[in-house]
Structure 1
Amino acid sequence: MRPFLLSLLAAVALVLVPAPPAAAAGSSPTAIPLPGSPYGDPAGSNDWACAPSAARPTPVILVHGTFGDRRSLLDPISLAMKRAGFCVYSFDYGNRATGDIRDSAAHLGEFIERVREVTDADKVSLVGHSQGGMMPRYYIKNLGGAAYVEDLVGLAPSNHGTTIVMDGTAIGATGLCQSCAQQAAGSPFLVDLNAGDETPGDISYTQIVTATDEVVVPHTSGFLAEGPNTTNVRIQDACALDLSDHLLIPMSTAAIALTLDALTHEGPASPGLKTC
C-alpha cells in the first residue's frame, strides 16, 4: 500500500465508524431528508423545523471530509453555530467521500436544494473540513452553485491537494478511494478546478488552515488566490497555543471562532482576529 494511504488510513481510524445504511430503494428523495443512522447527527443540526431568523437568515451546511460522515468531528462546531442562532444541517455523501468528487458535488447541490426548500432561504453557507472545504468549489464553479452560496469556509481544505500522495493514479486505480487520487497535488481534477478564477461568484471565501497539518501538505495548499472576498488564515495566527492538526481542526477553538466570524458579518473572516 502506498505511504499516503498508510498514513491517512491510520489517522482516520481514530474517528471511523460504520457507514450509515443506505436509503430504501424507491424511496422519495425529498420525503425524508436523511437516511437513518445509529450515530445520529452533529449536535444541534438537522432540525428540519428550524426557521432562519432575521438576524441569521442563511442556513449553514456542514460538509465532512474524506473517510468521514456527517457527524465525525463536527459536534463542537455544529453546536457553536446552533448556539449562535443558525439553522445547521449536515449530510453524508460519496461513500464516505471516497467517490468521484464531481458526483459528490452534485449530491451537495441536491442537499442544498432540500435545505433551501425547507427553510425558504435564497442562499446557504457551507463549512467544510478537508475535502469538504474543497469539493463545494466544484459545485460553485461547474454546477451553478455560485447563485446559492453566501459563504464558503474551509477547515484545512485540500484546495491545491497534498504532496504526500506518491502515486495518485495508482491509488485511484485500486478503486478504494477515487477522491484520494483527485486530491493529489497536480492531479488533472485540481488543475481544472483551479484554472482561472479560484474564487468565482459573489461569495465570501475563508480558508482556515493549521501549521501542524499532516494530511494536506504543505498546509498552505489550502489557501486560495488573494482577493477582496478571500481570507487565508492559520489557526496559529489567531491563537499561537492552538496546535490542532488536520483531524482536530474542526474542534479547534480558534477555527470555530474564525468560522463564526466569517458567518456573522459581510465578507470573509477577519484575518487579524485573536482568540487567545
Structure 2
Amino acid sequence: MPVTDPSPRGPRSHKVLAAAAVCASTVLMLSAASPARADDAKRLPEGGVAQALANYVSSPGAVAGANDWSCKPSAEHPEPVVLLPGTFFNFGANFVKAAPRLKNAGYCVYAMNYGFTSVSLGRVGGLGPNRESAAQLDAFVDRTLASTGAKKVDIVGHSLGGNVPMWWMKKMGGAEKVDNYVGWAPSSHGTDLNGITDLGAALNLMGFVTRLSNVAQFPGVIEQTNTSEYTREMWADGDTVPDGPHYTVVMTKYDTVVTPYATQALKGKDVDNVVLQDVCPGDRAGHMGLFNDDPTLQITMNALADGPADFKPSCHGYGLQLL
C-alpha cells in the first residue's frame, strides 16, 4: 500500500509553497514598480507640431504644464519660469513642448499672451505696441512673484518674446526681478528682414509703413525692424544688457526672420550666445522651428539650472525647418 506523507514537506506541499513564493515575489515586484508607474502617470506628455496647430485655434490661452497658480517653487528650482511667445503666436501653441518639460522637471511654470489688438481674434499675439506689452509683462511678473512667494523669475521668450522682456529689463527696471533670461532667436536688436527694411529706409518708405501699421493695429510688428524708433531707443544708452540676470541666447543660422541671425547675440558680463549649428551641425531648425527643437530645449534647461557654460546638447529631435 502506498504511504502518504502527511508532513508539509510532501510533494504537493512543495508545489503549494513554490506557487506561494512566486505570488509573493510578484507582489513585491509590483509594489516596487508602482511608484515609478505612478510617477510616469503624473508626467505630462510633450506636444508636437500637430498639438501646436490644434492649440493655436482651440487653446490659445492654455497649455499643459503652465499657470498652476497654486504651485510653490522648490528649493531645487526656486524661480518660477515665465514663458512668452513670438509674434503672431500664442503661448498655447508656442510652448506645447517646453511647458510640459519644465513642469515635469519640477518648475513652477507660467505663460502669458500679450500685444493682442482688435484684429488678434484672441489668438494672434504681439501686434500691439511693444512698450505696452512690456507693461503687461511687468504686471504678470508681479502677479507671479506674489503668488509663488519667489523673489525673482526666469524668463524664456521666443522672437518678440525675447524682445519685450529686454525692453522691460533695460527701460523699466525689470532686470532686478530676473535670475535667468533665455531668448530663442530674440528680435531685441531688430531685423532687416534680409535687407528689406534697409531698402525701405533708403527709399524713405518706413514712415509710411509705420503709419499703416498703426492704422491696421500691428505696430508691434514694425517696431521689431532694425530701423524703428523703438529699436533705436532700446539701445540708446549702450549696447550691453543690464547686470544681474544670466543671459542665454539660442540662434540658428537658418533664421530668415530675425536677420542677420548674428545680430540676435547679446553683450554683457554674464552672457552665453549659442549658435545651434556650432553644437549640433546637422540641426537645420528655422526661426519658427526652435519651439520644438530638442537641442534648444536642452540648452534652455541647462541655463535655467545654472549648468555649465560649455554644455553640449544631445543632437536629436531637431525642430521644423521653417523660416
Which bin holds the TM-score, normalised by the shorter protein? 0.7 to 0.9
Q: 2:266 is matched with which residue? A: 224
| DSSP 3-state at the match of 2:92 | coil
Distance across 2 between alignment mates of 1:16 and 1:83? 20
The answer to whether the aligner puts 1:173 opposite 2:214 as a matched pair is no
Q: 2:225 is matched with which residue? A: 184
The answer to whether the aligner puts 1:124 opposite 2:153 as a matched pair is yes
Kindly indicate whether the alpha-carbon contact (under 8 Å) linking 2:60 and 2:93 is maintained by their aligned counterparts in 1: no
| DSSP 3-state at the match of 1:102 | helix
One of 275, 296, 312 as aligned partner of 1:234: 275
Q: Which runs of 5+ in 2 are unaligned?
A: 1-52, 117-124, 201-205, 316-323
Q: 2:252 is matched with which residue? A: 210
The answer to whether the aligner puts 1:45 opposite 2:66 as a matched pair is yes
One of 261, 265, 268 as aligned partner of 2:306: 265
Larger RCO, structure (CA 8 Å, separation 6 or more) = 1
Distance across 2 between alignment mates of 1:84 and 1:135? 26
The 5 A counterparts of 1:1-276 are: 17=56, 38-95=59-116, 96-164=125-193, 165-166=196-197, 167=200, 168-174=206-212, 175=214, 176=216, 177-195=218-236, 196-225=238-267, 227-265=268-306, 270-276=309-315
Distance across 2 between alignment mates of 1:215 and 1:123? 31
| DSSP 3-state at the match of 1:97 | coil
For residue 103 of structure 1, report the CA deviation from its aligned partner.
0.6
TM-score by length of 1: 0.82
Pair 1:271–1:132, CA change in 2 (3 A): farther
Kindly indicate whether the alpha-carbon contact (under 8 Å) linking 2:190 and 2:225 is maintained by their aligned counterparts in 1: yes
Q: Which has the larger radius of gyration?
A: 2
Kindly indicate whether the alpha-carbon contact (under 8 Å) linking 1:15 and 1:73 is maintained by their aligned counterparts in 2: no
Distance across 2 between alignment mates of 1:40 and 1:137? 23
Aligned amino acid, residue 238 of structure 1: V
| DSSP 3-state at the match of 1:254 | helix
Distance across 2 between alignment mates of 1:15 and 1:223? 32
Kindly indicate whether the alpha-carbon contact (under 8 Å) linking 1:62 and 1:89 is maintained by their aligned counterparts in 2: yes
Q: 1:27 is matched with which residue? A: none
Distance across 2 between alignment mates of 1:58 and 1:38? 26
For residue 171 of structure 1, report the CA deviation from its aligned partner.
3.1
| DSSP 3-state at the match of 2:250 | strand
For residue 272 of structure 1, report the CA deviation from its aligned partner.
4.8
Kindly indicate whether the alpha-carbon contact (under 8 Å) linking 1:109 and 1:139 is maintained by their aligned counterparts in 2: yes
Q: Which runs of 5+ in 1 are unaligned?
A: 1-13, 19-36
Distance across 2 between alignment mates of 1:243 and 1:64? 21
Pair 1:207–1:80, CA change in 2 (3 A): same
Pair 1:169–1:250, CA change in 2 (3 A): farther
Pair 1:182–1:40, CA change in 2 (3 A): closer
Distance across 1 between alignment mates of 2:228 and 2:55? 26
Distance across 2 between alignment mates of 1:64 and 1:270? 25
Distance across 2 between alignment mates of 1:206 and 1:265? 11
Kindly indicate whether the alpha-carbon contact (under 8 Å) linking 2:59 and 2:92 is maintained by their aligned counterparts in 1: no
Pair 1:38–1:210, CA change in 2 (3 A): closer
Pair 1:63–1:40, CA change in 2 (3 A): closer
TM-score by length of 2: 0.71
For residue 229 of structure 1, report the CA deviation from its aligned partner.
0.4
Distance across 1 between alignment mates of 2:273 and 2:244? 17
* % identical aligned pairs: 35
Moved more, 141-150 or 101-110: 141-150
Q: Find runs of 4+ consecutive structure 1 residues off by over 6 angstroms.
A: none
Distance across 1 between alignment mates of 2:207 and 2:55? 25
Distance across 1 between alignment mates of 2:186 and 2:310? 17
Kindly indicate whether the alpha-carbon contact (under 8 Å) linking 1:45 and 1:90 is maintained by their aligned counterparts in 2: yes
Please tell me the root mean square deviation across aligned C-alpha atoms, in Å: 1.9
For residue 202 of structure 1, report the CA deviation from its aligned partner.
0.6
Distance across 2 between alignment mates of 1:155 and 1:132? 8
